[in-house]
Amino acid sequence: MKEFVKWMAALAVLASCFGCKAFRTLNEQRVIAQGAPYELIVVCDQPAWQGALGDTLRAILTEPVAGLNQREPHFDVLRVLPSGFENLVTRHRNILQVLVDPTVKEPVTAVQYDLYAQPQIVLTLQGPTQASLIAYLDEHREELLYVLEKAERDRTIDFGHKFPDKFLTTTIKEQFGIDFDVPQGYKLRTQSDGFLWISYEFPQASQGFFIYTYPYAGKESLTLDALTKARNRFAARIPGPSDGSYMITADVYEPDYRTFLLEGRMWIELRGFWDVKNDFMGGPFVSYTTVDTAANRIFTIDCYVYSPKNPKRNYMRELEHLLYLISIPETKTE
């Protein structure tokens, strides 16, 4: 944790490595940032990019995302030379600038937001040698990915809070008693006792989630087996394309199980794959479960993607961000 704080303390460092031309703002009033989600501009000279430093950066930034049934990188990396870092390039939503400078005493990272456009993150990585920067990246690879991914997550959260679907937000509040700023674009598909299914339909993809609650019966309700069985009970309410077909949890791979704290609340994450019983469909899913002790119930939001022809990363990332738009009333400590 101390190392992370030290790493983030580089916010105070001025990123003045590529000359005043690269670092002047485009307008007094910042423009809207350009670029697709999880697209990253890397500003790096040719020797560094073609050497071991470039290999290290690509290994970190394009490492495959876990939990998808096809290989997709964390970021779509586009490299430009420092001399080409101007005009529209500076307006990109995600920028990583890399500089090997012998006058720098030790590797350091500066993080700046909304420097040329909005919303935008600009990271500047500089160090005296390629070797020192490689060692630095090996030590701080998780922090690098975290900061970049958090910037994308914050954009989803900001959009959800600014442009919630009022009908869905009200419906969820009335049925489950929670605050959930569902972003515009999602539509209600099915609503029944203790269950609600919402999706965002695209021409060749479906991005959806379902919420369900049921009584809490002690710690045995929170095991992998119990949560998977509960998921299958409620997923069966999501019909498939043919008569008698419905969603189930794929049993080829056991879902990954982990616990984590978010704003003081304990959550359980299941990440795996779903199939359709009596038909041929499937894709990745991630579910988040917590215990609402005030109501003595289990609360789950289960997110899934169906995109047989197109990449799935961005769909899944947006669904993962929905958890940060949920607020469950404070509960008594057991």
* Three-state secondary-structure class, residue 129: coil
**In degrees, to the nearest 5, what angle opens at C-alpha 135 toward C-alphas 75 and 147?**
35
CB 269 within 8 A of CB 258: yes
Nearest CA to 75 out of 41, 42, 120, 39 is that of: 39
CB 263 within 8 A of CB 257: no
Query: Residue 148 phi/psi, 5° resolution?
Result: -70, -45
Beta strand pairing status for 117-118 and 94-100? unpaired
Q: Looking at residues 191-214, what average pLDDT do you find?
A: 96
Please provide the CATH number assigned to the domain covering 164-327.
3.40.1000.10
pLDDT at 260: 96
pTM: 0.88
Residue type at position 292: D
CB 176 within 8 A of CB 194: no
Percentage with pLDDT > 70 across the chain:
90
Q: Looking at residues 55-62, what average pLDDT do you find?
A: 97
For the stretch 252-265, pLDDT in tens is: 889 999 999 999 99
The count of other CB atoms within 10 Å of the CB of residue 20 is 7
pLDDT at 22: 41
Q: Looking at residues 145-169, what average pLDDT do you find?
A: 96
Round the average pLDDT of the chain to a whole number and report it. 90
Angle, nearest 10°, between helix axes 52-61 and 130-162?
30
Distance of CA 170 to CAs 20, 165, 190, 258, 322, Å? 50, 9, 15, 31, 16
The count of other CB atoms within 10 Å of the CB of residue 50 is 11
Q: Looking at residues 131-147, what average pLDDT do you find?
A: 96
For the stretch 126-136, pLDDT in tens is: 999 999 999 99
Q: Looking at residues 235-246, what average pLDDT do you find?
A: 92
Q: How far apart are CA 20 and CA 82, in angstroms?
A: 12
pLDDT at 20: 37
CB 212 within 8 A of CB 300: yes
Q: Where are the domains of the chain?
A: 2-161, 164-327
